[in-house]
Structure 1
Amino acid sequence: MKKSAVLKNAFLLLILNLCVLSFIRSQETIDSTKLTIDRIFQSGEFRMERFGPYKWLGEGDYYTTLESSDSISGARDIIRYNSKTSERDI
């Protein structure tokens, strides 16, 4: 009877050790080169520059948008772009 109790305790100890090792392994440091949900949405690393507001003109040949002015500090210019050639007009 004693032998079976010792085997039962040894088996339970083995299972407990496996659970603890599995938990410790899952807590290893995360590779920062891997893409994660937190990295995408919280780090700001993937944020794009804002585009717009924009307005299409005619049949889609041109569109206008607001951009920071090169000549007046703090001002914005209305810029017209040709959608086929990307030609820029102020």
Structure 2
Amino acid sequence: MKPFGSLLSSLMPASFLALFATIATAQESTEQSQLSLERLFNSEEFDLESFGPARWLSDGSGYTLLEDSNAVQDRKDIVRYDPKTNDREILVTASQLQPAMSDETLKIENYSWSADGSKVLIYTNSQRVWRTNSRGDYWVLDLVSGALSQIGSDFPASSLMFATFSPDDTRIAYVQLNNIYVEDLSSSKVTQITNDGSTNLINGTFDWVYEEE
């Protein structure tokens, strides 16, 4: 039988290791439970469940929402609801929003319908400008042909702002580096409307002061 002192000496290293592991685990748990700027602003931990973006169809037959896709992880479908019957219909699946030569589908951040409902303008890959994510990429999905095309594809990524359909749905207008452009959807021809945009002269958008006011 080992003397008591020898037995105690042999147990001490193991005891210290167990104590150290307990302290480290407790410290890690405490750090995870504490609020931090990183957790508040750079994670989705405290995001609220959102409704929409909801869009009424121009013919008044229903409205559309974004809902989680069952086929593509972390992506959304655009779903139509009939307000009278609450009937549900998927109008755009996440799988339809996969650009050619890409392994991933687009992440919808916002969208808008053409007046006749045959096309949908998708906003994605956004970047923050002052307080909101108002600069990004835009794509148009033609629901009749299934064609998916990027708007302003010759410009740098995430550099377009406030894209919108023309009243006749044949063109898209947008802002890029403080100038206004119009792109024909059938030919992809881009026409620059203004040429004097700069850091001091702004066309089609606004400066940070306007957000404050």
TM-score, with structure 1 as normaliser: 0.46
TM-score, with structure 2 as normaliser: 0.23
Higher Rg of the two aligned structures:
1
